[in-house]
């Protein structure tokens, strides 16, 4: 695959617990199954040994423990120091990326970032690092993850929206906000509104009543109203629902990312669209139309148990089809050997 100088990829952000590590590993597996060369770059110095296949690790340059021990810093200060140190030693990152990707940009990169929110809300080092990657002609989009559990609590959801909006304004990249772990949402009870209300971030004034009834936030009525009006005035934030193990939501997100970076518009001479049948089921190929948020709500919230059962039956059918095919191929091989 040759996509021109530089490379395409993602900058993955989100607070602790949002599922960044799971997402990076899941996207790596998904892209690999689609035949797209992919490399994960770990920029989190607090995780020297991430669970995914890591082609380039900031721990080769500096770790959080080193910064804390050598400079007497706490975890937060040490994290900021590490990213500043990476910025100062950007030549190291550039050299490593050139060795990994090559000057012609052969590959796709996923940058896994720390969960400390200051790094992608108001601290400048990560932004400048991304800017220098842009000068290297890397075509990147930001993927900002928020735990879907936040939509079950009005105050948490507004906080998540504000955090996502601040990240959008700070990083200045093509930006897609994601509600992660959507497959776990059914376990939190009924939603106050349809899922579409939260993914489209519609009129948040409807949440003010809930906030004003909550003893924790009722005293801040004027502040709550001002925050809701601020979000409505900007009208920047929307969310894509995602279950990492669900190929439908993963493919929809990937298509959005490819459009955001321009990857989809550049022809590839070697990439295979679906070499491992990722987009096929026992019932046939996945349709080009991947559904909307109403389909996601039906699958993962309203009728999750029914769909889970149907999926198990589908897997059993696929396993049976594979077994029969393998048995037929084995029988054909035996007959061929006998004929010889």
pLDDT given at position 273: 55
Which superfamily is assigned to 8-201+237-285 in CATH?
A: P-loop containing nucleotide triphosphate hydrolases (3.40.50.300)
Mean pLDDT check: name the lowest of 14-23, 74-83, 214-223: 214-223
- In the predicted structure, residue 282 carries a pLDDT above the cut 50: no
* pLDDT one-digit tens code per residue, 99-118: 888 655 568 999 999 999 99
Mean pLDDT computed over 203-221: 86
* pLDDT one-digit tens code per residue, 222-233: 999 999 999 999
Mean pLDDT computed over 183-203: 91
Task: Please report which confidence band the pLDDT of residue 284 belongs to, taking 50, 70 and 90 as the band edges.
Answer: very low
Task: Please report which confidence band the pLDDT of residue 212 belongs to, taking 50, 70 and 90 as the band edges.
Answer: confident
pLDDT given at position 339: 66
Q: What is the 3-state secondary structure (H, E, C) of the chain?
A: CCCCCCCEEEEEECCCCCCHHHHHHHHHHHHHHCCCCEEEEECCCCCCCCCCCEEEEHHHCCCHHHHHHHHCCCHHHHHHHHHHHHHHCHHHHHHHHHHHHCCCCCCEEEEECCCCHHHHCCCCHHHHHHHHHHHCCCEEEEEEEEEHHHHHCHHHHHHHHHHHHHHHHHHCCCEEEEEECHHHHHHHCCCCCCHHHHHCCCCHHHHHHHHHHCCCCHHHHHHHHHHHHHHHHHCCCCEEECCCCCHHHHHHHHHHHHHHHCHHHCCCCCCCCCCCCCCEECCEECCCCCCCHHHHHHHHHHCHHHHHHHHHHHHHHHHHHHHHHHHHHHHHHHHHHHHC
User: Contact 30/254 with Cβ under 8 angstroms?
Assistant: yes
* 276 vs 144, more confident: 144
- In the predicted structure, residue 166 carries a pLDDT above the cut 90: yes
Directed axis angle between helix 247-261 and helix 20-33, to 10°? 90
Q: Cβ contacts of residue 92 below 8 Å, gap of 6+?
A: 61, 86
- Mean pLDDT rounded to a whole number for the chain: 87
- In the predicted structure, residue 335 carries a pLDDT above the cut 80: no
Distance CA 100, CA 157 (A): 39
- In the predicted structure, residue 275 carries a pLDDT above the cut 70: no
Distance CA 206, CA 192 (A): 10
Task: Please report which confidence band the pLDDT of residue 270 belongs to, taking 50, 70 and 90 as the band edges.
Answer: very low
Instruction: Write down the pTM of the prediction.
Output: 0.86
Residue 41: which of 104, 128, 111, 123 has the closest Cα? 111
**CA 163 to chain centroid:** 16
Mean pLDDT computed over 150-178: 95
Q: Cβ contacts of residue 242 below 8 Å, gap of 6+?
A: 23, 178, 179, 180, 182, 249, 250, 253
- In the predicted structure, residue 65 carries a pLDDT above the cut 70: yes
38-42 vs 175-180, strand pairing mode: unpaired
Residue 179: which of 146, 151, 154 has the closest Cα? 146
Distance CA 141, CA 130 (A): 10
Match 């920047």 to its residue by tokens: 236
- In the predicted structure, residue 338 carries a pLDDT above the cut 90: no
Mean pLDDT check: name the lowest of 146-150, 159-163, 302-306: 302-306
- In the predicted structure, residue 4 carries a pLDDT above the cut 50: no
- In the predicted structure, residue 276 carries a pLDDT above the cut 80: no
8-13 vs 38-42, strand pairing mode: unpaired
Mean pLDDT check: name the lowest of 38-52, 93-107, 117-131, 160-174: 93-107
Mean pLDDT computed over 59-71: 96
* pLDDT one-digit tens code per residue, 23-63: 999 999 999 999 899 999 999 999 999 999 999 999 999 99
| Token pair of 97 as six digits | 């990326």
């Amino acid at each position: 695959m040759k996509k021109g100088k530089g490379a395409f990829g993602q900058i993955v952000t989100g607070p602790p617990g949002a599922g960044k590590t799971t997402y990076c590993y899941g996207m790596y597996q998904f892209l690999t199954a689609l035949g797209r060369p992919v490399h994960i770059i770990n920029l989190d110095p607090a995780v020297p040994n991430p669970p995914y296949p890591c082609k380039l690790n900031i721990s080769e340059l500096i770790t959080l423990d080193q910064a804390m021990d050598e400079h007497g810093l706490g975890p937060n200060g040490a994290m900021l120091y590490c990213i500043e140190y990476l910025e100062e030693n950007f030549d190291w990152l550039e050299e490593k990326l050139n060795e990994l990707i090559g000057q012609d940009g052969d590959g796709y990169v996923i940058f896994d970032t720390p969960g400390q929110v200051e790094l992608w809300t108001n601290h400048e080092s990560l932004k400048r690092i991304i800017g220098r990657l842009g000068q290297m002609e890397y075509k990147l989009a930001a993927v900002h993850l928020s735990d879907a559990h936040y939509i079950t609590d009005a105050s948490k959801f507004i906080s998540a929206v504000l955090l996502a909006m601040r990240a959008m304004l700070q990083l200045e990249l093509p930006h897609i906000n994601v509600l992660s772990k959507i497959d776990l949402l059914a376990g939190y009870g009924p939603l106050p509104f349809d899922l579409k209300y939260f993914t489209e971030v519609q009129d948040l004034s409807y949440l003010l009543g809930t906030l004003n009834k909550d003893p924790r936030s009722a005293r801040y009525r004027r502040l709550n109203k001002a925050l809701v009006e601020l979000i409505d005035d900007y009208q920047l934030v929307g969310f894509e629902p995602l279950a990492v193990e669900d190929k439908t939501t993963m493919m929809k997100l990937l298509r959005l990312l490819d459009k955001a970076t321009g990857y989809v518009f550049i022809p590839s001479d070697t990439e295979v669209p679906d070499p491992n049948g990722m987009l096929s089921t026992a019932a046939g190929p996945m349709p080009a139309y991947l559904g909307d948020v109403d389909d996601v709500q039906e699958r993962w919230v309203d009728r999750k148990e029914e769909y889970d059962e149907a999926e198990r039956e589908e897997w059993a059918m696929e396993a049976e089809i594979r077994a029969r095919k393998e048995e037929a191929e084995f029988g054909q091989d035996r007959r061929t050997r006998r004929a010889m």
